[in-house]
Amino acid sequence: MSNHLVVIPAFNEEANVASVVADARASLPGFDVLVIDDGSGDDTAAVARHAGARVLRLPVNSGYGVALQSGYKYAVRQGYAIVAQMDADGQHRAEFMPQLLALVQDGSADIVIGSRFLDQDGHYQPSRARKVGMSVFSAMASRIMRQHVSDPTSGYQVMRHDVARFFCSDVYPADYPDADILILLHRSGFRVAEVAVQMRMPTGKSMHSGHKSIYYVYKMFLSILVTMLRPAVEKRA
Amino acid sequence: MDIRIRILTIGGAVCILLMVVELVRRRKLKEEYSVLWVFTAVFILLVSIWFSLLAKVTHAIGAISPASTLFFFGLLFSLVLLLHFSVRISSLERRLTALVQEVGLMNVEEPDGEQADDGPQPAHVAEPAGVDR
């Protein structure tokens, strides 16, 4: 058993999960691969197992954040030192993970986020509405954290085990972790860093569409507000 | 206040009180949930019997009719109760999520063609999925 784990949350991804797992296994030989099957109705779990991943199946669909948190809980209980995460829809490519890992391993950051926008080459073009939302919240996060945050919604991350342990508590959101969780990390004394990565454009559904995008904007404002109103929690409390 | 409406409100309040006590006695209602109900019933009973108090409260909050005072407090009570339920639902959801995660963590499935390296796994866990569809 390795002491590095890559967590891949998946919901109805039987079409993509095999190639994502194969990519992770090929690019990250030192990592154990854990797919979180978030109550999928299709064969995601069987396909992932066949591709060589360990599978943690949630009995009911519980949301992206809950699936990720299950992975952190697994990692903490099994004693992994490093936890990486990437999405199962094929947007993320595992080849950039070593660059993120290097920053965690040399001790310059506790958590490293892979950013689509940091290199500013425009390879990734979100919809206009989403772009506005993203830029407002990354600007707020950058201001509060006094460091440049370009892609707070990225699910492409590498973290130390103590960050994973911190995420195991009630602080972690059930739906989509975003700028609010980065602000919380900063206020709790963790060091956050970003590395430019390339991502493929999403093929299917977007998580912020229609009425959900209005709720998303509302939720982020509220969440950032209450995060700022709460007393800062110290890490290793 | 009209004697008929007084009888109605006193009767209603006594009914709520008796129902709450009976539900708690039969363990259908937890004690902590009874607090708001008992409080409201006692309030209605109090102002029905002691009408001058209702008149005073009506005057104090600037209402014109004592009936609207009662309605106002009734509505306030309903809102507090709904908020209370939202809080309970949030807490239940948190607990459910923790349980769902525990169930998942209890039997993590190994990749196909590999043996578990931490203790023996029950054979059925490694079977291909699909039973729940």
- What domains can you pick out in chain A, each with its CATH number? 4-229 (3.90.550.10)
Does the pLDDT of residue B124 top 80, yes or no? no
Average pLDDT over residues B43-62: 86
Does the pLDDT of residue B128 top 50, yes or no? no
| CA A19 – CA A4 distance, rounded (Å) | 20
pLDDT at B57: 87
- For residue B75, give its domain range: 3-106
pLDDT at B127: 42
Cα separations (Å) of A64 from A138, A152, B43?
Answer: 20, 15, 47
Q: Is the dihedral of CA A122, A127, A132, A133 positive or negative?
A: negative
State the nearest Cα–Cα gap between B110 and chain A, in angstroms: 5
pLDDT at A219: 84
Q: Do A34 and B112 touch (CB under 8 A)?
A: no
State both tokens at A15: 């079409």
Q: Which of A1, A49, A61, A226 to mutate to test the interface with B (most CBs of B within 10 A)?
A: A49
Strands (E), chain A: 4-10, 31-38, 54-58, 82-85, 111-115, 157-160, 192-196
Greater pLDDT, B72 or A73: A73
pLDDT at B19: 93
Average pLDDT over residues B78-104: 92
pLDDT at A12: 93
The answer to whether position B130 is within a domain reads no
The answer to whether position B123 is within a domain reads no
The answer to whether position B45 is within a domain reads yes
Q: Do B104 and A43 touch (CB under 8 A)?
A: no
State the nearest Cα–Cα gap between B93 and chain A, in angstroms: 10
The answer to whether position B113 is within a domain reads no
Is this complex scored with an ipTM above 0.95? Answer: no
State the nearest Cα–Cα gap between A17 and chain B, in angstroms: 14
pLDDT tens-place values along chain A, 237 residues long? 679 999 999 999 999 999 999 999 999 999 999 999 999 999 999 999 999 999 999 999 999 999 999 999 999 999 999 999 999 988 899 999 999 999 999 999 999 999 988 877 777 777 777 777 778 888 888 988 988 888 888 889 999 999 999 999 888 888 888 888 999 999 999 999 999 998 887 655 555 556 677 888 888 888 888 888 887 766 544
Q: Which residue of A has its CA nearest to B109?
A: A55
The answer to whether position B50 is within a domain reads yes
Domain count, chain B: 1
The residues, ordered by sequence, that sit 6+ positions from A144 with a Cβ below 8 Å of its Cβ are: A183, A186, A224, A228
Minimum-distance CB partner of A54 among B94, B101, B109? B109
Q: Do A70 and B111 touch (CB under 8 A)?
A: no
Measured between alpha carbons, how far apart are the two ends of chain A, in Å? 29
The residues, ordered by sequence, that sit 6+ positions from A108 with a Cβ below 8 Å of its Cβ are: A191, A193
The answer to whether position B79 is within a domain reads yes
Does the pLDDT of residue B75 top 80, yes or no? yes
Q: Do B97 and A77 touch (CB under 8 A)?
A: no
Q: Is the dihedral of CA A191, A115, A182, A161 positive or negative?
A: negative
The answer to whether position B119 is within a domain reads no
pLDDT at B72: 87
Largest CA distance in chain B: 83
| CA A204 – CA A10 distance, rounded (Å) | 14
Cα separations (Å) of A105 from A83, A121, A188, B86?
Answer: 12, 27, 20, 44
